[in-house]
A = this chain, B = another copy of it.
């Protein structure tokens, strides 16, 4: 990208999200996205493989960040603690722009195919977290359970984060959601 096209990717993304919300994901064409952004289709395809990648293109970067934080947690950290550290680190990717996450989510919620795609991405993240825990020496059933529990915590925290009415940090929401999951899961034996 040349210097004469500042934040091209961001402009394309914003135009795409606007159109997906206004007209629906299916009904929006790449030509329309490029036009709204004041750019060409060719420029669009230099940044995204297709319409869907506008929504999911970031996944690689933030999955990597989660995995690195899980692997890099202190050696003394319990598996679930390492997973929580991973989820907290993910916030750096999306924390700056809650409106963008909110729009993206509303587009996905309105389309069954995109929802399925989102579920697949989260399942892939669970596998990546499980593998990261293996690298920490965590054995099979525990690693899988901690990874899956992490995805549950992520989804609850993320829903809260995009529905925030006042600015709220991501990390405390992860802690809060994990605390609630602990209480819910543990209560089975109490009564």
Contacts and interface: CB of A to CB of B under 8 A. Distances in A.
Decide if the interface of chain A is mainly helix, strand, loop or mixed. Answer: helix
13 contacts: A78-B188, A78-B190, A80-B185, A141-B156, A144-B156, A146-B184, A148-B152, A149-B184, A149-B185, A178-B188, A181-B185, A185-B185, A186-B186
Copies in the complex: 2
A94 B78 CA distance: 35
Interface residues on A, range: 35 or more
Contact of A191 (B76, B148, B188): B76
Interface of A: 76-81, 84, 112, 115-117, 119-120, 123, 141-142, 144-146, 148-149, 152, 155-156, 177-178, 180-182, 184-191
Contacts of A142: 180, 184
B185 A182 contact: yes
Closest 3 pairs between A and B when the two form their complex, measured CB to CB = A80-B188, A119-B119, A148-B152
